[in-house]
Amino acid sequence: MVQFQQARLDASFAALSDATRRGVVEHLGRSDASITDLAARFRMTLTGMKKHVCILEQAGLVSTEKVGRVRTCRLGPRRLEEEAAWLARHQALWNARFEALDQVVQELKRKEQAHGREKKR
């Protein structure tokens, strides 16, 4: 189970590591589009766009349906929830570590002030 999840995260983060592919996902967030539309919008050959869409489809971020000669792309089925959860966990750890560091700094400051007061007496 964990292994499947890891493979999904591998595929989706890799799919998102390209500006054009992120642009396609953003565009499909606003409306469905054919591969021809996407190729024109991103000034790319049909073959180039097909490759990007294929990578997004394998990662589950985009699904496609061919009706006649037109292949329409839309978002889904995956909603990037696992990816968002991973990042949120990471940021919680970061914040916890920073708070711990901050407490150490505050403690040192208190000790220094107390030491300063003692010296003045």
Residues at the contact surface with a second copy, assessed by CB under 8 A: 6, 9-11, 13-14, 16-19, 22, 25-26, 29-30, 75-76, 79-81, 83-84, 86-91, 93-94, 97
Q: Which is nearer to a second copy, 87 or 114 (CB)?
A: 87
Q: Which is nearer to a second copy, 18 or 112 (CB)?
A: 18
Alpha-carbon torsion (95, 13, 19, 85), positive or negative: negative
DSSP 8-state code for residue 43: T
Query: Tokens representing 82?
Result: 């696992």
State in angstroms the smallest separation of the CB of 55 from a second copy.
11
Q: Which is nearer to a second copy, 30 or 69 (CB)?
A: 30
Q: Which is nearer to a second copy, 9 or 44 (CB)?
A: 9
All residues at 6 or more sequence positions from 84 whose CB lies less than 8 Å from its CB, including other chains: none
State in angstroms the smallest separation of the CB of 92 from a second copy.
9
State in angstroms the smallest separation of the CB of 38 from a second copy.
16
State in angstroms the smallest separation of the CB of 33 from a second copy.
13
| Rounded Cα gap, residues 18 and 49, in angstroms | 12
Using alpha carbons, list the distances in angstroms from residue 5 to 1, 10, 11, 56, 90. 6, 9, 10, 17, 17
